[in-house]
Amino acid sequence: MGPGGQNAAVAGFVVVAALAVLAVFPQPGSGERAQPPSSLEPVAFVMPQETTPPELADAGAELVVSTCSACHSLEYITTQPRGMGDKFWHDSVAKMIKVYGAPIEPADAQAIGDILAGRFGQAAQLP
C-alpha cells in the first residue's frame, strides 16, 4: 500500500468513526431520544410554583399555612382522607412536633389541630 492508500484508509476510518458518533448521539429532530449535553454550562430550570390549596387559602387558615408549609407542601394536609375525626388532626400536628421536630408552640398546635379538624375531620358531604 502506497502513501495514497494509507491516506484513504485513514479517511475511511474517520468516516466510520463519524458515523459511529452520529449513531450514538442522534442529531436534533432524529428521534425521541434525549440529547447529550453539548457543554458543561449551567442548566436553568424553573420549579413549579408552590401554591396554597384552595381549602387553606383563606385568612382563617393563615396559621396553618405559615406553620405547616415550612417543610413540605400543604397538599400533605389536603390529600389526607376526610372523616378521620378531631383526634387524628391533633395527633398529626403532635407527630410533626415530636417525630419531625417542627418548632410549634403548644397553643399554636392546639389552634392548628382545631382548624384542621374543623375543615377536614368530618366526612365530605355528598351533594
Rule CB under 6 A: which residues touch ligand HEC? 67-68, 70-72, 76-77, 80, 92-93, 95-96, 100-102, 104, 112, 116
The minimum distance between CB 77 and ligand HEC, in angstroms, equals 5
For the chain, what is the radius of gyration of the CA atoms? 30
Q: Is 71 strand, coil or helix? A: coil
Cβ–Cβ < 8 Å for 35, 76: no
Q: Is the Cβ of residue 26 or residue 55 nearer to ligand HEC in the bound state? A: 55
With cell 399554636, the residue in question is 108
Q: Is the Cβ of residue 26 or residue 102 nearer to ligand HEC in the bound state? A: 102
Q: Is the Cβ of residue 45 or residue 100 nearer to ligand HEC in the bound state? A: 100
Contacts 24+ apart (CB under 8 A), 54-58: 55/119, 55/120, 56/119
The minimum distance between CB 40 and ligand HEC, in angstroms, equals 33
The minimum distance between CB 125 and ligand HEC, in angstroms, equals 21
